[in-house]
């Protein structure tokens, strides 16, 4: 079976390659959080604490033990799915992440879908009609997208659509207080509400989502549009497109069947990179829109040296990236037949 | 059938309008194969793109008429043009691998054309595509249908391109350098196939090529183009025998052919006496049992299988073979960029294979062994001027600085015939021949004893090739160099080399004095290589070729087994 399908083997190999990465992340996240300045024992013992009660907190938190022992405890807990207790929220980190990660993912994915839906056709149009108004529009959007910081576009959008026009709801979280949270199935409010058939809640969640998603989309749109345009231009000037045109194939076939599929490869690469940028850029957008996502959670945890929470965040992000890269690589194999065979 | 009158094509570029084709007129009759010959930039390809209306962005037909069976090709609606392309007029291109969509199965690419022109439906497309593949003599077409271009050899890809072009039974086939980049036996197989199909189906054809010999062999009539103009036309024998225009005479002269010496390639007025070579019997390079095995995905790949040969001082040895025969691996091992798996390379009596390639750059013998690379453009740093390029080995290995360096560079430029005014130009500002000169100057900068020439003229036009080959001959005489000349072109090897080695699959199949091997090849593979080279018609004024050489040139090719 393994020998029979080189592509399947390449995929399994690719999955196996992710394992050492994850182990490395576990070690680094542990060491890094310990290297943070500040003494959590002092912080959590409270303002009025004396030497003795600080020491007591330190022992209670297990911070008096040597680092290798702490690490062994950490890994043992991790294997049981226990990410530890968040000291600031008082809840298990795993629960916190499960609550907040879907919020961030929902925001990022929606933004990314909006960006792709706009940027890819824009890039294709700009490449097929260089020098026309579409090309110039593409250039303006790209320049605007990269030069406007997300917190600025976020505030600008709130100012226009909430403050002046009043068509957007107040930028406070995922759902206005008049709605009840939908039952937790996936954690994605849009999906959960749709599963319940509660379209009023769905609409409420969508209204809350649209402004932060648009802010993030504007930021992610630029690199995708630019890469699509460049890749399409390269593909359109290639020899095989000339062959296709000389064979009398229709514009549509040449454009989509030949040029676009070849241009997809660099676009998918960019998409992967943009997704990781977007997860990083999330923090600012979440702050501006009071979005209860994972980014704002991590920043708060970092400020108070909340080890467990920061470690959990880093680990969750690393796993996300590993999964993302895996998906990108698998997409490659689906698009480009040459890849599965190149893997040794 | 096709009639072109005063066709002019111009390109709108950033530096203003450029006239690529300046008023050409010709006709193609039914059943005729017309050859358009010219060097790069002559407008021969642009003419054909203009007829198909597939010019690159910025290109447009400025004036003139082009009529195909009563259809005005210049003014026809784009929709009508799409029906004509592929169905009435179709094209095959150079570099077949790039001409196919790399991520679409070749069978589907043929289906696309069939379905576009309503020659097949969804249900019978597969069968018809396989039939089209069988028409171009692809064995096992059923299995090859699902192959991607990267899984096929160059010759096979060109057959697929032919299948796409011929699938809808067009009346006119335009072949744009269809065999550039293919091996010589593959070239013959593809050309025989295409010309056979053209005759069989009673089609007309335009063959665009830079190879006058090839055009003369396969075409009924030739046009010679230069700078967007037709300078001469006529039947091949006449153009070869009595070229009327000075430019066609120059082209005919420059085409390597049986019986001509390297000086004969130059225009008559530029021919000087050939220098005397001082080949000796003292061995300079002795290769003994050289082996190179690569670890491949499916077991070891034996690139070179224990070969031995000797290059004497002042001798030029030709290494001939088709792609994949191991000739590049050998040249890389000799120039010490690659370590052999086993075997000896004795240079001046010492085994240089003992010094690992990684450390050879610091070896004192580095300066003695130098190389001229295949692609003059790719082997020059695009951000270095010609002067910097030539200075590089002098600064690094000879530690030359200041005035001494400048003097030496100018001396070298004079030696290779590069005008001093060009020394401060970047590669993109130089012509192909000038870049070749820079590469040669860099290689001889340190007064090497041994020069490896890896197809140094493969990317050059024939007239430039003639000049560069003569330069190499002069340099060898002047500097007393020994050459290993790697090439796939037996005619070129014969012009330059005293001794020739023919390789196949990592082994030597035949070696001997160049004259003897060419005149009387013993091995069937050598015979097929010689027979596959195009045979241009006789021309007046050449020294008569020996009987044997003529006889062998007509020897039927052993067909390229890999391509079929």
Supply the DSSP string of A269-321, one letter for each residue. Answer: HHHHHHHHHHHHHHHHHHHHTT---HHHHHHHHHHTT-HHHHHHHHHHHHHHH
| Predicted local confidence at residue B524, as pLDDT | 92
| Predicted local confidence at residue B325, as pLDDT | 86
Coil, helix or strand for B499? strand
Number of domains in chain A: 1
Q: What angle do CA B188, B197, B555 make, to 5 degrees?
A: 35
Burial class (CB in 10 A: 0-12, 13-18, 19+), B287: buried
- Could you tell me which residues come within 8 angstroms of residue A133 by beta carbon, excluding any fewer than 6 positions away? none
Residue A267 included in any domain: yes
Chain A residue at shortest CA distance from B146:
A337
Coil, helix or strand for B365? helix
| Predicted local confidence at residue B545, as pLDDT | 43
Q: Which of A239, A248, A260, A340 to mutate to test the interface with B (most CBs of B within 10 A)?
A: A248
Residues recorded for chain B: 564
| Predicted local confidence at residue A19, as pLDDT | 84
> A252 in contact with B at a CB cutoff of 8 Å?
no
> A253 in contact with B at a CB cutoff of 8 Å?
yes
Token digits of residue A222: 């630029």
C-alpha separations of A276 from A284, A325, B190, B463 in Å: 14, 10, 50, 55
| Predicted local confidence at residue B309, as pLDDT | 92
| Predicted local confidence at residue B456, as pLDDT | 86
Residue A315 included in any domain: no
**Are B103 and A344 within 8 A, CB to CB?**
no
Q: Which of B71, B78, B96, B112 to mutate to test the interface with A (most CBs of A within 10 A)?
A: B112
| Predicted local confidence at residue A4, as pLDDT | 52
- Could you tell me which residues come within 8 angstroms of residue B259 by beta carbon, excluding any fewer than 6 positions away? B542, B543, B544, B545, B546, B549
Q: What ipTM score was computed for the predicted complex, to two decimals?
A: 0.78
Provide the residue ranges of all domains of chain B, joining segments of one domain with +.
Answer: 284-553
Query: How many CB atoms neighbour CB B272 within 10 A?
Result: 9
**Are B116 and A248 within 8 A, CB to CB?**
yes
Which residues in B lie closer than 8 A to residue A242 (C-beta atoms)? 54, 93, 99
**Are B103 and A239 within 8 A, CB to CB?**
no
The partner residue sitting opposite A242, judged by closest CB among B54, B84, B113, is: B54
Rg for chain A, CA atoms, rounded: 24
Residue A53 included in any domain: no
Rg for chain B, CA atoms, rounded: 25
Residue A232 included in any domain: yes
**Are B98 and A240 within 8 A, CB to CB?**
yes
Residue A333 included in any domain: no
| Predicted local confidence at residue A7, as pLDDT | 67
Within B441-523, strands assigned E span 450-454, 482-487, 499-504, 507-513
**Are A243 and B103 within 8 A, CB to CB?**
no
Q: What angle do CA B252, B519, B473 make, to 5 degrees?
A: 55
**Are B86 and A336 within 8 A, CB to CB?**
no
| Predicted local confidence at residue A1, as pLDDT | 41
Coil, helix or strand for B24? strand
Contact B182, B158 (CB under 8 A): yes
CA atoms within 13 A on the CB side of B19: 12
- Could you tell me which residues come within 8 angstroms of residue B183 by beta carbon, excluding any fewer than 6 positions away? B154, B155, B322, B323, B488, B560
Residue A277, min C-alpha distance to chain B (Å): 29
Residue B529 parent element (H or E): helix B524-532
What gap in Å lies between CA B389 and CA B372, rounded to an integer?
Answer: 13
Which residues in B lie closer than 8 A to residue A344 (C-beta atoms)? 297
C-alpha separations of A301 from A26, A85, A89, A124, A295 in Å: 18, 12, 9, 43, 10
* Beta partners for residue B320, in sequence order: B487, B502
**Are B91 and A243 within 8 A, CB to CB?**
yes
Residue A254 included in any domain: yes
| Predicted local confidence at residue A342, as pLDDT | 46
| Predicted local confidence at residue A117, as pLDDT | 94
**Are B112 and A257 within 8 A, CB to CB?**
yes
| Predicted local confidence at residue B558, as pLDDT | 39
> A239 in contact with B at a CB cutoff of 8 Å?
yes
Residue B346 parent element (H or E): strand B342-347
**Domain B284-553: CATH superfamily, name plus number:** P-loop containing nucleotide triphosphate hydrolases (3.40.50.300)
Which residues in B lie closer than 8 A to residue A232 (C-beta atoms)? none
The partner residue sitting opposite A247, judged by closest CB among B85, B95, B104, is: B85
What gap in Å lies between CA B321 and CA B304, rounded to an integer?
Answer: 12
| Predicted local confidence at residue A248, as pLDDT | 87
Residue A40 included in any domain: no
C-alpha separations of B47 from B44, B55, B166, B206, B213 in Å: 5, 9, 21, 11, 21
In sign, the C-alpha dihedral spanning B194, B196, B201, B206 is positive
Residue A184: give the domain boundaries.
Answer: 93-303
The per-residue pLDDT string of chain A (344 residues; one tens digit each, 9 = 90 and over) reads: 444 566 677 778 878 888 888 888 888 888 877 777 767 777 777 777 777 888 887 777 777 778 888 888 888 888 887 877 777 777 888 888 888 888 888 899 999 999 999 999 999 999 988 888 888 988 998 888 888 888 888 889 889 988 888 888 888 788 777 777 777 777 788 888 888 888 888 888 888 888 999 999 988 899 999 999 999 999 998 889 999 989 888 888 898 889 998 998 889 888 888 888 787 778 888 888 888 888 888 888 888 777 778 888 888 888 888 888 888 888 887 888 877 544 43
Q: Which of A126, A239, A243, A265 to mutate to test the interface with B (most CBs of B within 10 A)?
A: A243
What gap in Å lies between CA B62 and CA B65, rounded to an integer?
Answer: 10
Low-confidence residues of chain B: pLDDT under 50? 542-564
Task: Give first-to-last CA distance, chain B, whole Å.
Answer: 33
Which residues in B lie closer than 8 A to residue A237 (C-beta atoms)? 56
pTM of the model: 0.79
Residue A42 included in any domain: no
Domain of A237, CATH number, reads 1.10.3720.10
Query: How many CB atoms neighbour CB B199 within 10 A?
Result: 12
> A242 in contact with B at a CB cutoff of 8 Å?
yes
> B180 in contact with A at a CB cutoff of 8 Å?
no
| Predicted local confidence at residue B554, as pLDDT | 41
Q: Cα–chain-centroid distance for residue A137?
A: 27
Chain B residue at shortest CA distance from A247:
B86
């Amino acid at each position: 079976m393994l020998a029979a399908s080189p592509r399947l083997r390449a995929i399994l190999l690719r999955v196996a390659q992710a394992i050492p990465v994850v182990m490395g992340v576990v070690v680094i996240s542990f060491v890094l959080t310990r290297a943070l300045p500040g003494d959590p024992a002092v912080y959590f013992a409270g303002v009025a604490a004396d030497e003795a009660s600080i020491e007591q907190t330190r022992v209670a938190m297990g911070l008096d033990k040597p680092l290798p022992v702490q690490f062994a405890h950490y890994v043992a807990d991790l294997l049981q799915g226990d990410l530890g207790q968040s000291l600031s929220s008082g809840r298990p980190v795993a629960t916190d992440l499960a609550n907040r990660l879907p919020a961030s993912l929902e925001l990022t994915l929606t933004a990314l879908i909006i960006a792709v839906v706009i940027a890819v056709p824009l890039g294709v149009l700009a490449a097929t009609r260089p020098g026309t108004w579409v090309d110039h529009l593409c250039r303006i959007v790209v320049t605007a997208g990269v030069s406007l910081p997300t917190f600025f576009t976020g505030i600008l959008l709130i100012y226009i659509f909430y403050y002046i026009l009043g068509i957007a709801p107040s930028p406070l979280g995922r759902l206005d207080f008049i709605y009840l949270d939908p039952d937790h199935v996936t954690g994605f409010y849009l999906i959960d509400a749709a599963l319940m058939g509660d379209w009023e809640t769905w609409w409420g969640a969508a209204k809350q989502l649209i402004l932060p998603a648009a802010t993030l989309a504007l930021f992610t749109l630029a690199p995708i549009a630019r890469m699509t345009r460049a890749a399409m231009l390269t593909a359109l000037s290639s020899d095989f497109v000339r062959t296709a045109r000389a064979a009398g194939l229709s514009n549509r076939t040449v454009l989509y069947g030949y040029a676009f599929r070849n241009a997809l490869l660099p676009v998918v690469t960019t998409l992967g990179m943009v997704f990781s940028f977007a997860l990083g850029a999330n923090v600012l957008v979440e702050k501006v829109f009071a979005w209860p996502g994972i980014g704002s959670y991590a920043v708060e945890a970092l400020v108070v040296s909340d080890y467990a929470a920061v470690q959990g965040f880093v680990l969750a992000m690393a796993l996300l990236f590993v999964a993302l890269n895996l998906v990108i690589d698998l997409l490659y194999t689906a698009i480009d037949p040459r890849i599965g065979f190149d893997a040794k | 059938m096709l009639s072109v009158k005063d066709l002019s094509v111009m390109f709108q570029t950033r530096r203003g309008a450029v006239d690529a084709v300046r008023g050409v007129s010709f006709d193609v009759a039914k059943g005729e194969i017309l050859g358009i010959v010219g060097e790069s930039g002559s407008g021969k390809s642009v003419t054909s793109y203009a007829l198909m209306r597939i010019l690159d962005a910025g290109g447009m037909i400025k004036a003139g008429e082009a009529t195909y069976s009563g259809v005005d090709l210049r003014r026809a609606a784009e929709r009508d043009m799409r029906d004509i392309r592929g169905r009435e007029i179709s094209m095959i291109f150079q570099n077949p691998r790039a001409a196919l969509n790399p991520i679409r199965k070749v069978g589907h690419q043929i289906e696309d054309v069939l379905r576009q022109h309503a020659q097949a439906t969804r249900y019978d497309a597969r069968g018809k595509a396989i039939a089209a593949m069988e028409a171009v003599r692809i064995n096992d077409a059923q299995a090859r249908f699902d192959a991607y271009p990267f899984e096929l050899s160059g010759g096979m890809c060109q057959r697929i391109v032919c299948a796409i072009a011929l699938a809808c039974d067009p009346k006119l086939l335009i072949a744009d350098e269809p065999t550039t980049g293919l091996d010589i036996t593959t070239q013959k197989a593809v050309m025989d196939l295409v010309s056979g199909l053209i005759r069989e189906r009673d089609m007309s054809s335009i063959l665009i090529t830079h190879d006058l010999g090839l055009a003369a062999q396969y075409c009924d009539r030739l046009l010679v183009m230069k700078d967007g103009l037709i300078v001469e036309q006529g039947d091949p024998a006449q153009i070869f025998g009595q070229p009327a225009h000075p430019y066609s005479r120059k082209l005919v002269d420059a085409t390597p052919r049986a019986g001509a010496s390297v000086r004969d390639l130059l225009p008559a007025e530029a021919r000087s006496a050939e220098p005397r070579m001082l080949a000796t019997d003292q061995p300079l390079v002795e290769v003994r049992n050289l082996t190179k095995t690569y670890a491949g995905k499916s077991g070891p790949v034996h690139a070179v299988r224990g070969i031995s040969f000797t290059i004497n001082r002042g001798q030029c040895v030709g290494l001939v073979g088709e792609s994949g025969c191991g000739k590049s691996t050998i040249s890389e091992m000799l120039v010490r960029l690659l370590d052999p798996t086993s075997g000896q390379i004795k240079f001046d009596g010492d085994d240089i294979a003992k010094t690992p390639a990684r450390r050879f750059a610091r070896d004192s013998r580095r300066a003695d062994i130098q190389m001229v690379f295949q692609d003059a453009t790719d082997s020059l740093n695009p951000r270095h001027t010609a002067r910097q390029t030539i200075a590089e080995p002098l600064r690094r290995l000879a530690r030359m600085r200041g005035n001494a360096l400048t003097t030496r560079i100018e001396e070298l430029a004079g030696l290779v015939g590069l005008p001093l005014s060009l020394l401060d130009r970047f590669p993109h500002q130089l012509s192909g021949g000038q870049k070749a000169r820079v590469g040669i100057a860099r290689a001889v900068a340190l007064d090497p004893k041994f020069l490896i020439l890896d197809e140094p003229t493969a990317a050059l036009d024939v007239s430039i090739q003639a000049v560069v080959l003569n330069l190499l001959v002069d340099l060898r005489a002047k500097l007393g160099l020994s050459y290993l000349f790697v090439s796939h072109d037996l005619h070129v090897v014969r012009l330059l080399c005293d001794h020739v080695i023919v390789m196949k699959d990592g082994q030597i199949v035949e070696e001997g004095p160049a004259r003897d091997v060419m005149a009387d090849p013993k091995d069937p593979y050598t015979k097929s290589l010689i027979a596959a080279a195009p045979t241009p018609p006789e021309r007046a004024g050449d020294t008569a070729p020996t009987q044997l050489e003529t006889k062998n040139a007509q020897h039927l090719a052993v067909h390229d087994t890999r391509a079929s």
